[in-house]
Amino acid sequence: MIKPYPFLSCHGRLKFMACKKTCKKYIAINSDSTHARYAIGQKRCGTCEIFLVWDHDNNCPCCGHKLRIKPKNARLKRQYNKILKQKQQQEQLERSKDQSTFQINWI
């Protein structure tokens, strides 16, 4: 059964967004925690009520609804930001190692 969700269009008319079940092809594998799902790149569609692995844009491939890419809860946001910060530090460390190796090879 398709569940319609009303929303206002840019012209002020009431339209309906519905899950067409085509998003099932992109359904994400369960993770042990919600903030980790967002940190590994999964996105949530509120209309279809599932997590997706969708890298093309921030709209659901099924209903066109904007996908959530960050947690709503403040505690989960802190944990999510902590994970992202750790990832950035690790990437920065790897880049600095690569640059130092490149410089040694030139000498």
Higher-pLDDT residue of 19, 101:
19
pLDDT band at 49 (very low <50, low <70, confident <90, very high): confident
Number of domains in the chain: 1
pLDDT band at 105 (very low <50, low <70, confident <90, very high): low
Taking the C-alpha atoms of residue 17 and residue 49, their distance in angstroms, rounded to an integer, is 13
The DSSP result for 82-99, as a single string, is HHHHHHHHHHHHHHHHHH
Average pLDDT of 5-34? Answer: 69
Taking the C-alpha atoms of residue 28 and residue 26, their distance in angstroms, rounded to an integer, is 6
- Predicted pLDDT at 82: 92
Query: What predicted TM-score, i.e. pTM, was given to this entire model?
Result: 0.64
- Structural domain boundaries enclosing 23: 4-106
- Predicted pLDDT at 90: 92
- Predicted pLDDT at 86: 92
